[in-house]
Amino acid sequence: MEADLARVDMVAELIDARIPISSRNPDIDVLVGKKPRLVVLNRAGQADSDANAAWTDYFQGQGMAVLETDSKTGRGVDRFAAAARSLLREQLARWQAKGQVGRPVRAMVVGVPNVGKSTFINRLARRRSAKAEDRPGVTRGKQWVVVDAGLALLDTPGILWPRFENERVGLHLAYTGAVKDDVMDVEGLACQLMSDLAAHYPETLEERYRLRIPPREEGQAAAAFGYGLLEAAAQGRGMRARGGEADTQRMARVLLDELRSGKLGRLTLEFPGERMQ
Ligand SMILES: Nc1nc2c(ncn2[C@@H]2O[C@H](COP(=O)(O)OP(=O)(O)OP(=O)(O)O)[C@@H](O)[C@H]2O)c(=O)[nH]1
Ligand SMILES: [Mg+2]
């Protein structure tokens, strides 16, 4: 990333609007340094709109340029070129003064796996130049995509940092699909997700899976509490394993798929000012 930075004019930092804390590389400020940066809150259509507004305020308050986008529908993506020009206005004026009129802006697109970097680039370019699929680790190498005479974007492979700050960050990245499922215990993950949804979006959970959330027992672990909910959801959907017991394995898959595909509705799991523990 550092070598590529020298070759670009700006960085577009794509973050997942549902998990704006966990989906940011903790070293990004140091890595990007003084290079102009635009924070792109992607997947905004999957996140809570009030939370999106709060995050936009938050980043602007930190002096950063922000754009809310949904690369799947294209919403907000067309504002990128203007936002980039505004971010680079001093640079563009310098180029003009040197007679470098029409020099294209080069932007590097970075972010965690599966956040939507390639889809975002394809939207901007209005064609499928970069391979994009519904799983992490699709983009393997770097690729320049020329949007038009004035803009070129560098697609990069998604990056996960070697150590997560804490367990919650790892869970949130896993829920949203930034981490490959085959390296995880999907049932355990779904139990944690159930417990988080019960805390943040109880009505959604109760309606969608036709269950009642019981009060969490004193000292009960999130995983155990979530397991009870997963079992209830499996029962509600008539999912039974061989022995007749609730098929929590299958329900775990379904829960994660429904979160990722948006069937659970718009939800945000992290809020400005919150401390991740
Ligand atoms: N709902 C929704 N889906 C999105 C959005 N952006 C991307 N996607 C979907 O998310 C999946 C991953 O998109 P990619 O563009 O391949 O993600 P990436 O960041 O390039 O992923 P890697 O190359 O693996 O790092 C695709 O199925 C996209 O259609 C978005 O804003 N909203
Ligand atoms: Mg990609």
Mutate to test the pocket of ligand 1, among 23, 24, 71 (most ligand atoms within 8 A of CB): 71
C-alpha 27 chain-centroid distance: 17
Q: Within the chain, how many helices (H) and strands (E) appear?
A: 11, 6
- Yes or no: say if 105 and 84 are a contact pair by the CB < 8 Å rule: yes
186 φψ region: left (φ > 0), alpha (ψ -120 to 50), beta (else): alpha
Task: State the distance from the centre of ligand 1 to the C-alpha of 115, rounded, in angstroms.
Answer: 5
Query: What lines the ligand 1 site, CB under 6 Å?
Result: 42-43, 45-46, 70-72, 111, 113-119, 132-134, 136-139, 157-158, 262
pLDDT for res 165:
74
pLDDT for res 184:
80
Nearest CA to ligand 1 atom 8: 116
Measured from the alpha carbon of residue 122, the closest ligand is 1
Query: What does residue 152 show for φ and ψ, rounded to 5 degrees?
Result: -130, 140
pLDDT for res 63:
93
Is this model's pTM higher than 0.75 or not?
A: yes
Low-confidence residues in the chain, pLDDT < 50? none
Q: Name residue, tokens 């492979």.
A: 157
Model confidence pLDDT, tens digit, residues 49-91: 999 999 999 999 999 999 999 999 999 999 999 999 999 999 9
pLDDT for res 275:
83
- Single out the residue of 90, 77, 79 nearest to residue 36, CA to CA: 90
